[in-house]
Structure formats: C-alpha cells, structure tokens
Chains A and B, each alone.
Chain A
Amino acid sequence: MHCLWCDADMIPELSWKTIFWLSRPTYLCPPCAEQLTILKGKRCGKCSRESDEEVCPDCRWWAADAAWDDPLVRNYAVFSYNDAMKEMIAKWKYRGDYCLGKVFEGAYQTAFKQAFSFLSREAVAVPIPLSDERMHERGFNQAKMLADFLPLKTWDILTRNHSEKQSKKTRRQRVTAANPFQLTRTVKHPVILADDIYTTGSTLRHAAFVLKEHGCPAVYALTLIRG
C-alpha cells in the first residue's frame, strides 16, 4: 500500500490481531493521517461548530428567522477545516482526484455510528447534487461518494440549478440566494444529507426545505468538515 496523499510506501504492521481479523484498510501514512484533526470536545448541538455554548450564535440566527421553521434538525461534522484538510479537499474535489475520497471513508462511517445510531434502518442517505454543468466539469460528485460510504440506501433524488460556486459567494449572497434544488421523487423516511462542507448552512437548509416540503419526516446532515 502507498499513502494516497504523499505516496510513501506503507508497510502494514504484522501482529496476531492483523492475522486473525481483517483490519480496516489504511489509506494514509501515519504522518499524513496526523495532519487531519477529528472534531472532538464541545460543539454546537445544531451545526457542529466548536463552541462552548449549546447552540452557537449562527444557529440562533437561523432559528430566529421567522420566515421558516428551521428544516434541518442537526448537522454533524467529522473534521475541522485546517490547512491540510483544505489542500486535500482541493485536490479531491477541484482537481478531481477521485481515489483520495477513500481517505475519509473510515472516519465518516465512525461519525455516522456515533451521531446517528438512533435512526432506523429505513433512513436514506441523500447526497447534495452538483448542477449538470459542474458535474460535466468535475466528472464526479464528491457528496455522492460520501453518501455511498454510509450503511444506508443512497437516493440521488435532488437536482440543482446551475449557479456560481458557493465558495465564490459572500455570506449574504449565499443566505439570500433562491433555492436551487428540486426533488425528483418524495421520501417518507428520515433523510441524512451528505455533503463535504458546512459553511453557512444555507445549501443544506435549502435542500432540507425541499425535502420537508414534500413530506419527509426529518432531515439530518452529516458533513465531512465544519468550515
């Protein structure tokens, strides 16, 4: 095995344990794995931001917006958004290094077990889609890849209008933008939205809103990072 990030040769440790139990494959060498930090400690119960308060000011602001009931029950994030993570995400998503996504598989599954074990097996994973243009450009949807890691059925039932990249917009533009999502079929089960990053939460809320509108009982989200 070679490290998917630095291509260093990894020599698997040989012990009785590894002989008798198949261990989870490791895709990163220890120094590279060390650079990613899994979020631990106190966080906002709603959006996963590191915070001492139960609910962070951002989420209070969402809740106070009387125009809608917040459609998202909660978001759980796995990693913090440090420089190493930024580089990996850029290579995976923007450069299109598809395999690199495997690096996140283990941690994403563990986080699912930790945060969403209460969900029934009926629940479905719904990836945040890319617009057709963006899909054509990148060749794959990183959120779909994440959704497929989960031990749930993946329903790719959302579609998206083309607009400028979220990452190029300001906070105000994101929050006030029109809802770009449509639903291709309805779901009567709880839904976990899968996406790579929660920044302002507007994308996930737009998607959650469309799902709720068509009768979905509850919408959660599991993102790789809390930006």
Chain B
Amino acid sequence: MDDYELSRRYAGKLLLRHEILIDEPRFEHLLNAHYFTSETAIQTKWSHHECRRCGNQKPSLFGQIPCHHCGETHVYCRKCIEMGRVMACSLLYEWTSPDQPWPSHPNACTWEGELTTAQQKASDLIVRKIQGREKEILTWAVCGAGKTEILYPGISEALKLGMRVCIATPRADVVRELLPRLREAFSGVYIQGLYGGSLEKDGTAQLMIATTHQLLRFKQAFDVMIIDEVDAFPYTHDTSLPFAAARAKKETSTTIYLTATPRQEQQMRMARKKLPHVFIPRRFHGHPMPVPVFHMCYSLKKDLQKSQPPKAFFKWFHHRKTPGRQLLIFVPTINLAGNLTQKLAAILSNSTTMAVHASDHDREEKVQQFREKRFQILVTTTILERGVTFPSVDVAILDAGHTVFDEAALVQIAGRAGRSPSDPTGEVVFFHDGKTEAMREAVRSITRMNKRGGFH
C-alpha cells in the first residue's frame, strides 16, 4: 500500500490497533514517522473515567477486567463494546499525515425529479451554506416534505467542490432505506452505507451514510455532515452520539440538521437567531398533515393488562372511512406488541396481523411485506415511528398517554399517515385514558404547521 492508499483508508479515522490492517514492522515505521499518532483510549482522573472513543463517562458503564497482556486489572468501556473492547491499556490511532484531496465530481446528481417551490427554497439555502462553508443550518420540514430530495443539490455541490459528505442517522433502518435511493440519485459516485452488520465496513467512500454508532470510528473526516432526525429517540438520550457526530466533522465544516420536530433547545436557538434555519411547512404532495383525533377509553390500562384492545378501538375500526387502508398500531412496550397481536389476530380473523419490535430478527422482512400490502395490520413499538414510509395507512396509538410517546414521537407517528400523492389523507387516532401535555402539544404543533403551510 502506498501513501495515497494509506491516506484513503486511514485519514479521518480513529481506530484500535487491530482495526488497522498493517503488519507490525511497517506500522512501527509509520508511527515513528508520525503518520499515525496515538492517544490513550480511556482517560482517568482520580476515579473518574472517560472513554475517548464514545465519550462515555457513566461509572456503571465501566467494568474491570484482568488484562491478559499486562497482567494487571484494567478499566474497560462497556458502552461501545460492540465495536471492540477498549481498555485502559488500549491506544487509539489517528492518521496525522496530510490528507489526500478527494476528487471533484462536476455533475454528480443523476436524479431527474423536480422540487416543489418550498423544497427548492430550502435546497438553495443549503447549497449556499455549503459553498460559504458556514457552520450549521437546521432544516425544519414537516413529515413527508421530501427531506431526502432537498439534500440532492447540496450533496451535488459538495461533491463538485471535492468535499467529503456523511449522512448520519440514529437508525440502521434509515441507512438501509436511504442507500438505494442515494445510489440511484448519484449513480456515478461510490457510496457506502455503514451500520452494525453492513457488508462494507471500511468507510472509505467520499459519500457515506452511517448510523451514529459507526461514526465513533471517525475523527475530523467530513466537510459536510448531514444529521438526519436529530431529535430521534436514541440520539437525544444518548450523549455518545452527538459526541461522535461533533468529532467526525472537520474543523471548518457545514452541519445540516434535518428534523420534523425540533427540540425545545433548538427552537430557542432559532428564536434567538443563533441557529440559521429554513422551514418547509408543506408536504411534497401539497396536502396538510392529518390532525390526530383523541378517543377516551376509561378501562384502557385494565384492558391492556389483559392485552385486550379497548372497545373504542373496535368501534372505530369497524367504522373507518376508508376500510381498504392498512392499519399501523403503535403500542408502548414490546411485550404488549406481541400479546396484542395474538388477540387481534384471533378477533379480526379476516385481516392478517403481524408485530414488529426492536429485538425482532425478521423486522426488515415484515416491514417490507407490509409495504407490499401482503398483510393488513402491523402492530409496532416506537421503532417505526420515523424514517419509514408506507403509502396508505391509518394510524392508531394505544395508550398515547404513555411516557414513551413524547411530543416529538406523537408528531412523527401522526406523520406516518397520508404519505402518498394518490392517498394524501389518513386517519390518526390516539386512544388514551387521560390527555397528557405531550398529546395536546403534538396536536397544537401539527395545526400550527398546517397553518404556516397555508391551510386553515
């Protein structure tokens, strides 16, 4: 491997020794010549540890292990152990020789669709931000506004300028869905998708889509960092992921946040004009977001304890306006998803019912089958809350007052309905046993967005 190839492979990475596939003498030489620089993987101050790979500082997520190599007991990080164990005696290596420039692709975008006026406006702004190498921009687009397409001109511009681009998303599902779309839209560019279990693992492409976990292996790598669904569940709760995203971008880089439900903190920054943003209030097919309807069920908790769907649900189900639509049912817990599906299948025997949740191995397959309309009802936990599109569904939430359904989640779930131009509406029903602030806020925020989109 010559210098060019080494740089391609290792520039912008932060790796453990066994992740660097160079034999020992050669590596020794590169290290002495300062091609690589090392740092200790776990920093300890008094009895406080910090993992330099994932930013973990939580004491319960550090363990002790008798080290086979040093014969001492070491601390190791339990948080990022899925990516290979990092111990107190491990070193992280970073490529510190000058980078080789990435090629310029003058006309990378092969997508021939057209953007709506609102999309065009947002995408122009993104292009300008990238050209000006400005720090950040938030794109606030309602669910179903066509966020991915908005990015195409920006990505195309970045590739023209020879920049390296990464789309980071918290969910592997989203990587799997985006990858074929991007490969079609940029057919001449080599694109990699990285997620746990992906076939390509080396992360050497100029344009990449990665789960935020996979970003932990990068440092100062990207000129343009696109963070999709920044508000999504693991992202806001897990501090290692913003840590990874911040480290993976270069010092002068442009960060583009994409979201349908900005968090309080972002809303405040936008209001104070500290965070430049663009708002896309209309869905790409020009119809408003469906507004959720509340249905009170007095014995909801009791019914759900018996995994029994509430009476109000059946009442609604049998009088749906468009009975031909598929139905997506959200429930708060994995257990409930499984049990409820059995009950539903027994009661509604003329429509087929399936369940998916995070630890389901056939998840991808079931989602695909549902998309192909092979079965009627899909019961799911919040994993399908965002990033997945089904053409024509009604949406119901059982126990919408549960704490897993915060405002952002509820807005996202409502946004699953009415996604296709041929069926732009859909019913969204929240079954609850007491309105929560989150539910009220969700409806308020949807009506407000519709209003800003010019619907009254």
Is A113 an interface residue when CB atoms closer than 8 A count as contact?
no
Residue from the list A99, A135, A139, A140 in contact with B78, Cβ < 8 A: A99
Which of B60-68, B179-187, B198-206, B433-441 is the contact stretch?
A: B60-68
- Across the interface, do A99 and B81 meet the contact criterion of CB distance under 8 Å? no
Chain A residues in 8 Å Cβ range of B67: 139
Residue from the list A96, A97, A98, A139 in contact with B69, Cβ < 8 A: A139
Q: How far is the CA of A2 from the CA of B81 in the complex (A)?
A: 17
Is A189 an interface residue when CB atoms closer than 8 A count as contact?
no
Chain A residues in 8 Å Cβ range of B87: 139
- How many B residues have CB within 8 A of the partner chain? 17
Q: How far is the CA of A97 from the CA of B78 in the complex (A)?
A: 7
Q: Quick one: which of B91-149 are within 8 Å of A by CB?
A: none
Is A136 an interface residue when CB atoms closer than 8 A count as contact?
yes
Determine the residue in chain B with the shortest Cβ distance to A31: B335
Residue from the list A7, A91, A135 in contact with B61, Cβ < 8 A: A7
- Across the interface, do B60 and A98 meet the contact criterion of CB distance under 8 Å? no
- Across the interface, do B66 and A140 meet the contact criterion of CB distance under 8 Å? yes
Q: How far is the CA of A96 from the CA of B83 in the complex (A)?
A: 11
Determine the residue in chain B with the shortest Cβ distance to A8: B60
Beta-carbon contacts of B36-74 to A below 8 Å, as 1s and 0s?
000000000000000000000010110111111100000
- Across the interface, do B82 and A140 meet the contact criterion of CB distance under 8 Å? no
Is B269 an interface residue when CB atoms closer than 8 A count as contact?
no
- Across the interface, do A140 and B65 meet the contact criterion of CB distance under 8 Å? yes
Beta-carbon contacts of A154-174 to B below 8 Å, as 1s and 0s?
000000000000000000000
Measured CB to CB, the closest approach of chain B to A89, in angstroms, equals 14
Is A185 an interface residue when CB atoms closer than 8 A count as contact?
no
Chain B residues in 8 Å Cβ range of A97: 63, 78, 81, 85
Determine the residue in chain B with the shortest Cβ distance to A102: B63
- Across the interface, do A136 and B63 meet the contact criterion of CB distance under 8 Å? no
Most-contacted residue by chain B among A91, A99, A135, A139 (CB, 10 A): A139
- Across the interface, do B60 and A95 meet the contact criterion of CB distance under 8 Å? no
Q: How far is the CA of A65 from the CA of B250 in the complex (A)?
A: 66
- Across the interface, do A2 and B60 meet the contact criterion of CB distance under 8 Å? yes
- Across the interface, do B64 and A95 meet the contact criterion of CB distance under 8 Å? no
Is B76 an interface residue when CB atoms closer than 8 A count as contact?
yes
Q: How far is the CA of A99 from the CA of B87 in the complex (A)?
A: 13
- Across the interface, do A139 and B63 meet the contact criterion of CB distance under 8 Å? no
Q: How far is the CA of A140 from the CA of B63 in the complex (A)?
A: 14
Q: How far is the CA of A95 from the CA of B95 in the complex (A)?
A: 26
Chain B residues in 8 Å Cβ range of A7: 58, 60-61
Q: Quick one: which of A1-39 are within 8 Å of B by CB?
A: 2, 7
Asked if A98 meets B68 with Cβ closer than 8 Å, knowing A91-B81, A139-B85, the reply is no
Measured CB to CB, the closest approach of chain B to A136, in angstroms, equals 7
Chain A residues in 8 Å Cβ range of B85: 95-97, 139
Residue from the list A83, A95, A136 in contact with B81, Cβ < 8 A: A95
Q: How far is the CA of A96 from the CA of B66 in the complex (A)?
A: 12
Determine the residue in chain B with the shortest Cβ distance to A135: B68
- Across the interface, do A98 and B61 meet the contact criterion of CB distance under 8 Å? no
- Across the interface, do A139 and B68 meet the contact criterion of CB distance under 8 Å? yes
Q: How far is the CA of A140 from the CA of B69 in the complex (A)?
A: 10
Most-contacted residue by chain B among A2, A95, A98 (CB, 10 A): A98
Measured CB to CB, the closest approach of chain A to B277, in angstroms, equals 34
Residue from the list B58, B61, B64, B81 in contact with A96, Cβ < 8 A: B81
Q: How far is the CA of A78 from the CA of B63 in the complex (A)?
A: 25
Q: How far is the CA of A99 from the CA of B359 in the complex (A)?
A: 23
- Across the interface, do B82 and A98 meet the contact criterion of CB distance under 8 Å? no
Determine the residue in chain B with the shortest Cβ distance to A136: B68
Chain B residues in 8 Å Cβ range of A83: 359
Chain A residues in 8 Å Cβ range of B66: 98, 140
Q: How far is the CA of A80 from the CA of B404 in the complex (A)?
A: 32
Q: How far is the CA of A96 from the CA of B77 in the complex (A)?
A: 11
Q: How far is the CA of A91 from the CA of B87 in the complex (A)?
A: 16
Beta-carbon contacts of A72-102 to B below 8 Å, as 1s and 0s?
0000000000010000000100011111000
Measured CB to CB, the closest approach of chain B to A154, in angstroms, equals 14
Q: How far is the CA of A95 from the CA of B60 in the complex (A)?
A: 18
Chain A residues in 8 Å Cβ range of B65: 96, 98-99, 139-140
Measured CB to CB, the closest approach of chain B to A22, in angstroms, equals 21
Determine the residue in chain B with the shortest Cβ distance to A95: B81
- Across the interface, do B68 and A95 meet the contact criterion of CB distance under 8 Å? no
Chain B residues in 8 Å Cβ range of A135: 68
Q: Quick one: which of B304-352 are within 8 Å of A by CB?
A: none
Report B's interface with A, CB cutoff 8 A: 58, 60-61, 63-69, 76, 78, 81-82, 85, 87, 359
Which 8 A-B residue pairs are closest in the complex by CB-CB distance?
A99-B63, A2-B60, A98-B65, A96-B85, A139-B68, A95-B81, A97-B81, A97-B78
Q: Can you identify 13 A-B contacts, CB atoms within 8 angstroms?
A: A7-B58, A83-B359, A91-B82, A96-B76, A96-B81, A97-B78, A98-B64, A98-B66, A135-B68, A136-B68, A139-B67, A139-B85, A140-B65
Report A's interface with B, CB cutoff 8 A: 2, 7, 83, 91, 95-99, 135-136, 139-140
Known contacts A99-B78, A136-B68, A139-B69; 14 additional CB pairs below 8 A are A2-B60, A95-B85, A96-B76, A96-B81, A97-B63, A97-B85, A98-B63, A99-B63, A99-B64, A139-B65, A139-B85, A140-B65, A140-B66, A140-B68
